[in-house]
Amino acid sequence: MAINITMPALSPTMEEGTLARWMVKPGDTISSGDVIAEIETDKATMEVEAVDEGTIAKIVIEAGTEGVKVNSVIAVLAEEGEDPDDVEAPEAEASGGADEGDDASEGDKIEEAEKPSKSKEKKVSDEKPEKSDAEPTTSIGETAQKPREAEGKDLRKELEGTSPKLADVGSGKDRIKASPLARRIAALRDIDLSKLEGSGPRGRIVKADVEAAEPSKKQVASEKKASDAPADTPKAAPDGLILPQVLDDRVYDPESYELKPLDGMRKTVAKRLTQSFMQVPHFPLNVDIKLDKLLASRADINEAAPEGVKISVNDMLIKASALALMSEPDCNASFTDKGIAYHKSAHISVAVAIDGGLITPVIRDAQTKGLATISREMKDLATRARERKLKPQEYSGGTFSISNLGMFGIKSFGSIINQPEGMILSVGAGEKRAVVNEADEVLPATVMTVTLSCDHRVIGGAEGAKWLAAFKRYVEHPQSMLL
Amino acid sequence: MADYDLIVIGSGPGGYVAAIRASQLGLKTAIVERESLGGICLNWGCIPTKALLRSAEVLHYATNAEQFGLKIDKAGFDLDAVVKRSRGVAKQLSSGVSHLMKKNKIDVIMGEATLKKGKPAPIVSVKGKDGKTNEYKAKNVILATGARARAIPQAGLEPDGDLIWTYREAMVPKETPKKLLVIGSGAIGIEFASFYNELGSDVTVVEAVDRILPVEDEEISTFARKQFEKQGIKFHTGAQVKSLKKANGKVTADISSGDKTEKLEVDRVILAIGIVGNTEGLGLEELGVKVEKTHVLVDGFGRTGVNGLYAIGDLTGAPWLAHKASHEGVMCVEGIAGAEDAHAFDAWNVPGCTYSHPQIASVGMTEAKAKESGHKIKVGKFPFIGNGKAIALGAAEGLVKTIFDAETGELLGAHMIGAEVTELIQGYVIAREGELTEETLMHTVFPHPTLSEMMHESVLASQGRVLHM
């Protein structure tokens, strides 16, 4: 029997992904565990392993297809003894419903698959009440079959063959729950309903939701007046949240730039940072920290370390941050819809700049790990981050972030909080500065400036300051990290 | 320790419905009432007036029996019996509320309530009929004390319970006044004008605005006026009663419009010049509750800005309608209980009904309001004369008007006048609440033969697709 290979969910929240590459082609024999394809999500590229064995009968979704819905059929596998050529695949539709597709292939003979699958029929009947745009021919057909309940299925199947419109109605797009008015306004204003959250009964999208997704006409009109320059109404942003600038030919000559479409990572970064910047009341605290002792310790440690272990300053700052979070547990906190989550462990997210964006792999339970472990894990995570090979669980679940731009000579800066974390530490460059000591002597010292951005909903100025004091103590007295 | 999760003050349709919903959601609830359970609506408003108007309607059919091929020698009425029937209906419903309170385990506290500062909500002290005062603590308090008829004492526009009436006296007449002056042409004024006109009074209505039923669509106002004038009611619009003088069991009114002043001598006057909220004596000022033009200011969930204190219904302002109060009560309680489907109140979806002959019903925006709000509109109209059922009923006078946004197809407003329209309007209310467009309404099957077919035709007419015209 033919087996459908479906789009896997790489994380609990994943809804769609890009089918980046096929590692197999029709006719290839595969066995369980073989890598058959690469899937790209917003932040990572992951390999898809085969679960069953057999011969690839058909590739349903071409490589490079974006927005492939989780659970939709991406390929069909012929089992042993089956002729792959006899296996017909379902249409390449990027919609859900493939989970139902299984019974279709199990219950029916392979030839049956030539006709539209059962799952699709089901959808068509589910959609009946919403099918306001259907062609008149369609509705006539349906009225006709109403009194003939028993034969209804066959008739419907026939109709599906002859009436392409009916099949269209069942496509995934129509599954969105929205009021007729919300649909109409969304269509008029070119708003993607699938990107909106409904506030009506059972998540139904209503007029207010669509209107909230876009500045009102009046607002746009008054802006127009104010600037006195004709401007296009901004289209809804890809994520339905941010409203990017309209790319206007009168401002930038189309010849004068190269346009790069937004990829998943860029969209995610843009959405998350905008969200954080707009929603979280950020406040910065900064402090100067003497680095001489830490640098000396690091040199010492590296000299004594076994082959292959080389601790970086950043590794030590990760450790110091984790220990500071343990001594100031009020700061290891997330503001959530249900309340403030005080984390029991320090999972440190480290910002890594990669081609095309930014990612924050997480060192878990950093307070319990030795410097060698932190260093080894960090190297591995950073390498795989650059290759976009991180698994979702490797870049989520952090409780605190560090961003270090010291290597670029930046003196100090303030980062945007990586929600739902409560704080992010921005580390500037260590540099020689003239420092006045307690005896009023001016002496040279290596000093760095760090800035702690805090979410004021969870962390007060005093808590943030206490955390910085603890952090400073660990960095200026690195041996205390051994305690 | 709080005695209750919720105390509701006032047991009208806002208060008692809020209390029932609270009990359903598991809140330990009490309700305070100073007079009779059910409030004005059940005892002195909606229900008893409908009973009176029903008597008037039956009388109308009896006097016009010939029109239906029937012979009734002499149709007449016994006013005491008509009033007695109305009071009986009110009493039956009021005891129904008492039963509902018991069934839902809601404690009924009879007496006058005042509020004192307290935490987490103001403390409610109730002075009972026996003069004793008890204090009750609750986590939440809902004010649902309602409203009463407005008076303007400076111009003599003040009820005296004898010659100058409010709805209350008008509901229990000893005799029908020969000549009656109704001041105000809102729903209450028009209903009494219609009632007494059917009973044979010579009725004059004075309205300050330039048309009757000022909240309705202008076309409906005009249509209604013609109908009422045909029945013999006289109207002075754009006019004001400057003074009322009582002498020898009669009242003389100075009615001025523009620079003209006219004197009118009548037997009785009904004041229907609006509503004032019952905000007094509750201790609202001390609590810092914001009161504007006799109404308590609230948000969409009835919050007053004072911790634990909410207000609903007539007390919070227009539209002064029982169903608005009930709905607000439910919204408010669901907000308090954190119910999953709690949603804020939307005044545009509250239908308004006037139970005169003919009836008037509407929801949403008038045509003028829709234009003023910047909508490009499509308007559909269908007359009763084009409807088979209306003709069969002998009620072929009326109109169904619908207003759509030309672009989005949103049903902006619906306005109806004619037989049974108060029972029909709710179809359009569902369309508004469900955000149905003209398309969905056109696809809806309406049963034949019914008056509701006109609702379909009106929608079709708005798109130039009317069938039976």
Question: Given CA atoms A231, A232, A236, A237 in this order, what sign does their dihedral have?
Answer: negative
- Report which residue type is found at A211: E
pLDDT at residue B15 is higher than 50:
yes
- Report which residue type is found at A7: M
Token code pair at residue B387: 């409807």
Domain locations in chain B? Answer: 4-149+276-347, 153-273, 358-462
What is B153-273's CATH number?
3.50.50.60
Q: What is the ipTM of this complex?
A: 0.80
- A336: nearest Cα among A280, A276, A420: A420
Number of A to B CB contacts under 8 A, please give it: 32
- Report which residue type is found at A351: A
Could you give the percent of chain A with pLDDT greater than 70? 72
Q: CA A306 to CA B87: how far, in whole Å? A: 99
**Does any CB of chain B come closer than 8 Å to the CB of residue A185?**
yes
User: Which of A266-280, B2-16, B222-236 shows the lowest per-residue confidence on average (mean pLDDT)?
Assistant: A266-280
Tell me the pTM: 0.57
Out of A114, A132, A151, a domain closes at A114
A163 φ, ψ to 5°?
Answer: -115, 100
- A190: nearest Cα among A260, A237, A229: A237
| A73 within domain boundaries | yes
Environment class of A3 (CB within 10 Å of its CB; exposed 0-12, middle 13-18, buried 19+): buried
- Report which residue type is found at A243: L
Q: Which residue has the higher pLDDT, A305 or A148?
A: A305
* Collapsed DSSP state (helix, strand, coil) of residue B322: helix
Query: Chain B residues with CB inside 8 Å of A337's CB?
Result: none
* Collapsed DSSP state (helix, strand, coil) of residue B260: strand
Which one of B334, B343, B408 would you mutate to disrupt binding with A, by most A Cβ within 10 Å of its Cβ?
A: B408
How large is the average pLDDT for residues B460-465?
A: 96
Give the DSSP letter string of B400-418: EEEEEETTT-BEEEEEEEE
Query: Chain B residues with CB inside 8 Å of A206's CB?
Result: 435
Domain of residue A80, residue span: 1-114
Residue in chain B nearest A180 by alpha carbon: B436
pLDDT at residue A340 is higher than 90:
yes
pLDDT tens digits for A345-384? 999 999 998 887 888 999 999 999 999 999 999 999 999 9
CB atoms within 10 A of CB A86: 13
| A188 within domain boundaries | no
Could you give the percent of chain B with pLDDT greater than 70? 99
User: How far does the CA of residue B24 sit from the closest CA of chain A (Å)?
Assistant: 19
Query: Chain B residues with CB inside 8 Å of A207's CB?
Result: 410, 435
- Do B153-273 and B358-462 show the same overall fold? no
Query: Chain A residues with CB inside 8 Å of B410's CB?
Result: 181, 184, 207
Question: Given CA atoms A333, A338, A339, A343 in this order, what sign does their dihedral have?
Answer: negative
Q: B93 Cβ partners below 8 Å, 6+ apart?
A: B38, B42, B47
Q: B33 Cβ partners below 8 Å, 6+ apart?
A: B10, B11, B15, B39, B108, B109, B110
pLDDT at residue A156 is higher than 70:
no
The shortest CB-CB distance from A180 to any of B341, B343, B439 is to B439
| A44 within domain boundaries | yes
pLDDT tens digits for A416-466? 999 899 999 999 999 999 999 889 999 999 999 999 999 999 999 999 999
Could you give the percent of chain B with pLDDT greater than 90? 87
Token code pair at residue B80: 């005491």
The B-side interface with A (CB below 8 A) comprises 341, 343, 374, 407-410, 434-437, 439-440, 443
Residue A77 zone, left/alpha/beta (φ > 0; ψ -120 to 50; rest): beta
C-alpha of B3 from chain center: 34
CATH number (domain holding residue A414): 3.30.559.10
Q: CA A449 to CA A430: how far, in whole Å? A: 8
Q: CA B242 to CA A342: how far, in whole Å? A: 71
How many domains does the structure of chain A reveal? 2
The shortest CB-CB distance from A180 to any of B343, B374, B440 is to B440
| A134 within domain boundaries | no
Q: For B358-462, which CATH superfamily applies? A: FAD/NAD-linked reductase, C-terminal dimerisation domain (3.30.390.30)
Show which of residues 200-239 on chain A sit within 8 Å of chain B, judged by CB atoms: 201, 206-207, 218
What is B4-149+276-347's CATH number?
3.50.50.60
Residue A220 near residue A248, CB atoms below 8 Å: no
How large is the average pLDDT for residues A273-298?
A: 92
Per the omega criterion (within 30 degrees of 0), is the bond before B449 cis? Answer: yes
